[in-house]
């Protein structure tokens, strides 16, 4: 699967995330932000595009209905932020902490989560297309009733993840690991799994494998 990478200008002027508070519409574009702190804020219907954001924190900040396009987040902390109904396209999260983030009813396209902490994230009712999770911790994350298309979980921790009411047809989880997984057997049809995982799912059916 080949993803379209974020389209970001080679040279970006420096800025701070607080600059968005001085815009008539909450919009930031074509900036490099390094070391901003934007915790416990409410900023709905914001637009971010063609940006690099590094070493910044957004703890408990509400970004409902945010539109993020062509952005790289690197070494950022968005723990417990609210990104419900977000539109996220051509975005990379690298080495980011996203513990408990609310992504309910999100739209993801050409998105990479690389070496991220995503434990207890809520992705319920979201749509994913060309999205990859790479070497990320997704323990107890919730993918209830999601639409997954060309989505890969590569070398991830999926322990306790819920795929309840989410079809995994064509989804590759074979390189990831888990001890328990919440999923309906009928939704596992055509999911790509390892031999060890196949034994686990067989045990869910009550099979005694010798």
Q: Mean per-residue pLDDT for 143-152?
A: 97
Confidence (pLDDT) at 137: 98
Q: In the prediction, which pLDDT does 24 show? A: 82
Residue 204 clears pLDDT 90, i.e. is over it: no
Q: What mean pLDDT is predicted for residues 51-65?
A: 98
Beta strands in the chain (DSSP E): 14-15, 27-29, 32-34, 47-54, 67-74, 87-94, 107-114, 127-134, 147-154
- The pTM (predicted TM-score) of the whole model is 0.94
Range 105-130 average pLDDT = 98
Q: What value does the mean pLDDT take over residues 67-72?
A: 98
Q: What is the pLDDT of residue 123?
A: 98
Alpha-carbon distance of 74 to 177, in angstroms, equals 25
Does residue 164 surpass a pLDDT of 70? yes
pLDDT of residue 140 exceeding 60: yes
Q: What's the CATH class of domain 14-204?
A: mainly beta
**Cα(55)–Cα(75) distance, integer angstroms:** 5
pLDDT given for residue 206 in this prediction: 61
């Amino acid at each position: 699967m080949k993803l379209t990478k974020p389209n970001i200008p080679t040279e970006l002027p420096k800025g701070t995330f607080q600059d968005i508070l001085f815009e008539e519409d909450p919009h930031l574009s074509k900036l490099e932000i390094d070391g901003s702190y934007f915790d416990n804020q409410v900023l709905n219907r914001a637009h971010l595009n063609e940006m690099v954001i590094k070493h910044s924190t957004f703890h408990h900040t509400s970004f409902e209905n945010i539109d993020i396009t062509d952005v790289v987040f690197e070494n950022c902390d968005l723990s417990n932020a609210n990104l419900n109904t977000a539109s996220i396209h051509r975005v990379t999260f690298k080495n980011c902490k996203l513990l408990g983030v609310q992504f309910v009813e999100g739209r993801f396209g050409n998105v990479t989560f690389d070496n991220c902490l995503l434990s207890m994230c809520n992705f319920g009712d979201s749509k994913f297309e060309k999205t990859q999770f790479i070497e990320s911790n997704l323990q107890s994350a919730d993918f209830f009733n999601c639409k997954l298309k060309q989505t890969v979980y590569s070398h991830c921790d999926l322990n306790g993840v819920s795929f309840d009411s989410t079809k995994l047809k064509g989804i590759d989880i074979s390189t990831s690991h888990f001890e328990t997984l919440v999923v309906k057997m009928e939704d596992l049809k055509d999911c790509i799994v390892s031999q060890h995982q196949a034994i686990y799912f067989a045990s869910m059916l009550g099979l005694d494998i010798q």
